[in-house]
Amino acid sequence: MRISRLALIPAAALAFAAPLTACSSDDAATDTETAEVVTEETAESTAEETEAVASGSDSDSSPVQVVATTTMLGDVAAQIVACANPESTATTLMPIGADPHDFAPSSAQVAEMVTAQVVISNGLGLEAGLDDALENAASDGAIVIEIADMVDPIPFGAGGHDDHSDEAKEDDHDDEHSDDEHNDEAKEDDHSDDEHSEDEHGHGGEDPHFWFDMNRMATAAQLIGDQLAVENGQAYADCGAQIADGIRAAEADVRALLESVPADQRILITDHDALGYLADAYGYEIAGTVIPAGTTLAEPSSADLAELVKVMQDEGVQVIFANTADPSALSDAVAAEVGGDVQVVQLFVGSLGEPGSGADNYISMMRTNAELISNALNA
Ligand SMILES: [Zn+2]
């Protein structure tokens, strides 16, 4: 298995995850009252899956208490532990609709993280408001997994900001396993193509929004299962593999939807620089972002907004993809400034949706996003 590749985070290493603390976050403490979402699975279908995957494994697994940070990771973690041992619990820190960039935990949640056996975080600076709590959990003995760093992250801007990235994008369609080669090329290009100013906001480097590539999320599921198996039994690894297979199978639908958009119309304007993995995996171009940064904590200047309006007018872009986890006022303003029939489409970016939203688990979230993108750009 891949246990030897796992990189558990010692407390000192968590200092890497703190580049955003200098950014202001007036609303960082909102929603913390409603934050606890316990996602322990009790459905009969889950029990059946458990038998199918790990028959006879009851003696091969012990229950585990897992805390995950984002709703996407919480969904995947809950499925894995429910499959491996129904007595396990998986708790998700962030409530539905929270923006991972500005979420801050309650004191009760901090305590819960400290007592958890395993904390699954996204990492790469995504959860700027959780850095201290993650560090404390690690120093108090919890195993803290920073999963984005373990799935071959790509740099910001790898989705391509120019017309020269088409060849690399087409190659990516053919071979999902060749990311390394392409990413190295993309990294070099991006250094000379610094349209965005993430560095000014302390957010340069690797992009944490890896869940927009379902193959990377599948890898994450497998890695989480493998990690849990180390101390709690092989059933967790088997279940991680099963959940990963389900994500990979669903990816085919998402790919078909996103590739139904003609290549010359695969142009994305987004609220912040969050869809680089989707662009890289499915041959899209990120032509601009309302917030010129990889975090929602930054703010665009009037010059940034004017430049975006010009890009949209020059390229004839008719859609801005906003984010259900954040207000769309800025995107609405840009759309109005561009004029014409520009529409603002809300994607599920930083969070799953409420039950009934069509995005209440990770797979349905990705399928709904793909439908929203393909419908908007095929119109
Ligand atoms: Zn983001």
CA contacts within 13 A on the Cβ side of 190: 23
HSE-CB for 194 with a 13 A CA cutoff: 10
Per-residue pLDDT at 262 exceeds 70: yes
Q: Which residues contact 278 (CB under 8 A, 6 or more apart)?
A: 159, 212, 213, 258, 268, 284, 369
Mean pLDDT of the chain: 80
Q: Are residues 187 and 128 in the same domain?
A: no
Give per-residue burial for 284-303: e unless 16+ CB within 10 Å, then b.
bbbbbbbbbbbbbbbebeee
38: phi then psi, degrees, rounded to nearest 5: -85, 125
Spatial contact of 253 and 367, defined as CB atoms under 8 Å apart: yes
Q: Clarify whether residues 65 and 189 are in a common domain.
A: no
Compute the average pLDDT of residues 73-88: 98
Amino acid occupying residue 373:
I
Both 138 and 179 in one domain: the answer is no
Domain-located, residue 188: yes
Q: Are strands 89-92 and 37-38 parallel, antiparallel or unpaired?
A: antiparallel
- Cα 173 to chain centroid distance, Å, stands at 20
Q: How far is the CA of 52 from the centre of ligand 1 (A)?
A: 37
**pLDDT, greater one: 29 or 205:** 205
Number of domains in the chain: 2
DSSP annotation of 298: S
223 and 365 together in one domain? no
- Say how many Å lie between the CA of residue 350 and the centre of ligand 1: 6
35 domain-assigned: yes
Give the pLDDT of residue 178. Answer: 41
Q: How far is the CA of 72 from the centre of ligand 1 (A)?
A: 13
Per-residue pLDDT for 3 more than 60? Answer: no
Query: What spacing in Å lies between the alpha carbon of 2 and ligand 1's midpoint?
Result: 28
Residue 192 lies in a domain: yes
Contacts of 16 (CB under 8 A, 6+ apart): none
Separation of CA 86 and ligand 1 centre (Å)? 32
CA of 307 to the centre of ligand 1 (A): 21
214 shares its domain with 81: yes
Task: Please list the alpha-helical segments (H only) found in 295-361.
Answer: 302-315, 329-338
Residue 59 binned pLDDT confidence (cut-offs 50, 70, 90): low
236 C-alpha to center of ligand 1: Å?
29
Q: Of 250, 283, 313, which closes a domain?
A: 250
pLDDT the model gives residue 204: 59
User: How confident is the model over 24-39, as pLDDT tens digits?
Assistant: 333 333 333 333 333 3
One DSSP character per residue, 236-265 reads HHHHHHHHHHHHHHHHHHHHHHHTTS-GGG
pLDDT at position 159 is 53
Q: Residues 269-284: what's their mean pLDDT?
A: 97
Distances (CA, A) of 171 to 128, 140, 175, 255: 34, 45, 7, 15
Where residue 286 falls (left for φ over 0; alpha for ψ -120 to 50; beta otherwise) is: beta
- For residues 270-294, give the mean pLDDT: 96
Query: Residue 44 C-alpha to ligand 1 middle, in angstroms?
Result: 35
Instruction: Give me the domain span that covers residue 15.
Output: 3-151+209-250
Domain boundary among 185, 219, 250: 250
The answer to whether residue 255 sits within a structural domain is no
Same domain, 118 and 246: yes
Mean pLDDT of all residues in 87-103: 97
Q: What is the pLDDT of residues 304-329, one digit of tens each?
A: 999 999 999 999 999 999 999 999 99
Confidence (pTM): 0.76
Kindly state whether residues 224 and 285 are assigned to the same domain.
no
Q: How many residues does the chain have?
A: 379
Q: For residue 72, how far is the Cα from the chain centroid?
A: 7
What's the 57 CA to ligand 1 centre distance in angstroms?
38
| pLDDT of 210 above 70 | yes
Q: What is the CATH number of the domain that holds 217?
A: 3.40.50.1980
What was the pLDDT predicted at 379? Answer: 80
- What tokens does 109 get? 């949640």
Q: What pLDDT shows up at residue 12? A: 36
The answer to whether position 158 is within a domain reads no
Give the pLDDT score at 156. 94
Structure tokens at 197: 């100013």
Q: In the block, which residue shows the tokens 């590749």?
A: 5
Decide if 373 is inside a domain.
yes
Amino acid code (one letter) for 298: A
Q: Is 329 part of any domain?
A: yes
Shared-domain flag, residues 15 and 115: yes
Residue 63 Cα to ligand 1 midpoint, Å, equals: 33
Same domain, 218 and 114: yes
Q: How far is the CA of 48 from the centre of ligand 1 (A)?
A: 36
Is residue 55 located within the same domain as residue 146? yes
Distance 181 CA to ligand 1 centre (A): 25
- Which comes out higher in pLDDT, residue 44 or 79? 79
In this structure, are 242 and 265 located in the same domain? no
CA 261 remoteness from chain centre: 23
- Identify whether 157 is part of a domain: no
Q: Of 145-159, 184-198, 310-324, which one has max mean pLDDT?
A: 310-324
**Does an H or E element contain 53, and which?**
helix 44-54
Count of beta carbons in the 10 Å neighbourhood of residue 220: 28
Query: Ligand 1 centroid to 102 CA: how many Å?
Result: 10
What's the CA-to-centroid distance between 84 and ligand 1, angstroms? 31
For residues 31 and 146, membership in a common domain is answered with yes
